[in-house]
Chain A
Amino acid sequence: MKAKKVLLSGIGLLLACMMTIPTLHVYADSIPEPDDMFAEEHIDECELDVRVYRTKEETTAYVSPEDATVAFVLETQMEIGGDWSYKDGNGHQWLLVHYNQKTGWIPKAELEVKYDTISFEEEHKNELVQYSDDLFKNVDLSTVKDYRFWKYPGSEDCMEITDDDGFENFDIFSFFYTDQNGLRWGKVDYYRGRVNSWICLDNPNGDYEEISKGTKFAHEEYSPAETTNETGKSEKVKPNVDATFVYALVGAMVGFVVIVTAVILIVLKKKKSREEP
């Protein structure tokens, strides 16, 4: 009898937990979905933003751009990966980040972004070219083997060395760049799971020393993630909600529940003591 009750209680516990657990998110290979409630609700206004950022000073991450509840606090000069970004009604950019298995939103104005292929493309936008037969008349992609994927031309970070077969044509490259040493590079937006990377077409498997030929590619390692906002002011960005009012309102409701419950408990206790001899 007792064992049956324990079993039934266990099943009840399991069912209740299952009901309260939010729906799990399925991550498709090419269609990432946010695991944050605000991002889910505003998915049409959010953009994928998988860059590396760094805090300028101690930075507060909020539950959402519309919720001033503190999710967590990041230390000064801390590197963190971005996930999605969102622009609020005041023109402020917000970044969704993960930290200690929690999600939080940080105003981009409080962050710096690490130099990456997007920074490179912004800096060299006038030097990026489309495919032309003239440019690649003596490049045979089918013989390219053991090639390296780089973060951007001149980067010391080789993302991957692969032993995949060569390429049939130039279709996988979105645009091209010729560096200061005359080496031609192709930008790969997506290829077999690799995103936003570059291949040095003139030396596909060369290491950094061979490719750079001693020439260091100079750039700032970090730059402001949001230089100016639409308001043009540099005020501290906070969620567009008065948290104090919400907390006071909820506090009043909780206080009401506590008082009513306490009164009922006191009445019950008095009734019980009257009934007992």
Chain B
Amino acid sequence: MLINLMRTMGIALLMTLVVELFVILLLTKESERKAVTWLVFLLANLLTNPAAVYLATIGHSYLTFLPDLVIQIPIEIAVVIVEWIVYKGYLSRPLLCAIAANLCSWGVGIMYNRLF
């Protein structure tokens, strides 16, 4: 069980990093893409993703009367707010980047779960 949970969290983090990297690349200017920006991007995802997946898993297991979406939406909103705060000062459009990146990674996550 521990291994399965860790594996799920590892896959989720890796997929999120790849998808959000793609979105951030599309939404930022060349001048914004410094080493520190990528470090902040990595740390922002390390801060939010494992916690979000963990909370969603706990919610899925214990709040079985609730649909998954009802559990995931507040978690995703919290993630967007945290990433928005983290990206402030590093990106010119932090809110847009946070919303777009998380919408895309969430969508890819849903597709992955449906497919596999």
Contact = CB atoms under 8 A, between A and B. Distances in A.
Contacts of A250: 2, 5-6, 9, 54
Q: How large is the interface on B (under 10, 10 to 19, 20 to 34, 35 or more residues)?
A: 35 or more
B116 A258 contact: no
A68 B1 contact: yes
Contacts of B14: 16, 20
Contacts, number: 94
Tell me if A's interface is mostly helix, strand, loop or mixed: helix
Interface string A34-76: 0001000000000000000000000010011011111001000
Interface stretch (A6-14, A124-132, A165-173): A6-14
B44 A257 contact: no
Interface in B26-59: 26, 36, 39-40, 43-44, 46-47, 50-51, 54, 57-58
A130 B2 CA distance: 51
Contacts of A272: 36, 89
A60 B1 contact: no
B64 A60 contact: yes
A73 B61 CA distance: 10
A68 B1 CA distance: 7
A254 B64 contact: no
Contact of B114 (A101, A241, A258, A268): A101
A265 interface: yes
Instruction: Please give me the 3 A-B residue pairs with the lowest Cβ-Cβ distance, nearest first.
Output: A67-B1, A16-B18, A261-B47
Interface of A: 5-6, 9-10, 12-13, 16-17, 20-22, 37, 60, 63-64, 66-70, 73, 101, 239, 241, 243, 246-247, 249-251, 254, 257-258, 261-262, 264-265, 268-269, 272-273
